[in-house]
Amino acid sequence: MEFQKEIRDFLMSRRAAVTPRQAGLPYVGGDRRVAGLRREEVAMLAGVSVEYYTRLERGRLGGASDSVLDAIARVLQLDDDERTHLYDLARNVAPGSRRKRPKPASPITAAVQQVLDSMSVPAIIQSGRLDLLAANDLGAALYSPLDDMAEQPPNFARFVFLDPRAESFYADLDASKDLLVAVLRATAGRDPLDRRTTDLIGELSTRSADFTARWAKHAVRRHSRGRKVIHHPAVGTLDLEYTDFDLPGDPDVSIVTYTAAPGSPSADGLVLLASWAQTRKALEAEAVPQKADDPADQRRG
């Protein structure tokens, strides 16, 4: 029933966002009780009966054909990410689909870490639920404020909504919050039975009214590419372009790289970040306690 509510709320929120004029309907005078489209208008434009569309909007998407889903996506003017989310929702209520999916072995193999370490730009590995799973030295330095988070692995959603340092770290905290909530919504739609994801959403909903308000908007996004401006505590402001690459064999894990325009102040900032990362790594190595001498060796001496 909870998943059916997710489907209902998503379709209703998208229906409310499309006006009759945007849908190409003629203007009809008089008061309307809804700002967006009515169910009967969506049904007419999609070429299905009102009863059938009402059933779909109540969460009974299982069994809907691709042509019907495409028609609904067209009428509701869904973007690519929203359309994918609609298909994920339909797939997860199809007969026989609601089984917990086995999780693959850890994607952070020695070979994957070697690929990360070979990159000359900041690079991290991120899960769909926004865990920071691995990084090269530059990536770890870029996100150094997440090092001492109580929950491990560090999670970007927890940092943004529950850690006060996020306000000074992100230049546009509001946009960062919207993006992370939309990414988490898409992840939940792909695998609604993933306990770690649902636990995270429950935790954030309980601890952050801000998260709850944004979650209710049912926005959906993939973390694919974009611009991120951060105020790094050691090197200052960095204006970076990020690109997300899916990791082969695990659609819920991706490599994210960060680059700056050549010759820009941010490019200089990345050079400074690399120097700071080397210093940081050397200090951490010095802080590791040396292994005590074997007492047997001392006796032999």
For the chain, domains (ranges, CATH) are 2-92 (1.10.260.40), 110-287 (3.30.450.180)
Query: Which pLDDT value is given to residue 300?
Result: 42
**Could you give the CA distance from residue 79 to residue 73 in angstroms, rounded to a whole number?**
8
Query: Which pLDDT value is given to residue 152?
Result: 86
Place of tokens 């005078």: 29
Query: Which pLDDT value is given to residue 141?
Result: 96
Query: Which pLDDT value is given to residue 11?
Result: 95
Backbone angles phi, psi at 265, to 5 degrees: -55, -30
**Contacts by 109-118, CB closer than 8 A, 24 or more apart:** 112/247, 115/255, 116/255
**Could you give the CA distance from residue 57 to residue 294 in angstroms, rounded to a whole number?**
70
Query: Which pLDDT value is given to residue 301?
Result: 40
Write out pLDDT tens, residues 52-68: 999 999 988 888 999 99
**Could you give the CA distance from residue 274 to residue 141 in angstroms, rounded to a whole number?**
8
Query: Which pLDDT value is given to residue 98?
Result: 54
- Quote the DSSP letter at residue 239: E
CB 76 within 8 A of CB 18: yes
Element at 211 (helix H, strand E): helix 209-215
Query: Which pLDDT value is given to residue 247?
Result: 82
Write out pLDDT tens, residues 106-157: 778 888 899 999 999 999 999 999 999 999 999 999 999 999 888 889 999 9
Query: Which pLDDT value is given to residue 293?
Result: 53
Q: At what angle do helices 173-190 and 195-207 cross, to 10 degrees?
A: 140
Residues of the chain with pLDDT under 70: 1, 27-31, 95-105, 289-301
Backbone angles phi, psi at 270, to 5 degrees: -70, -35
Query: Which pLDDT value is given to residue 103?
Result: 61
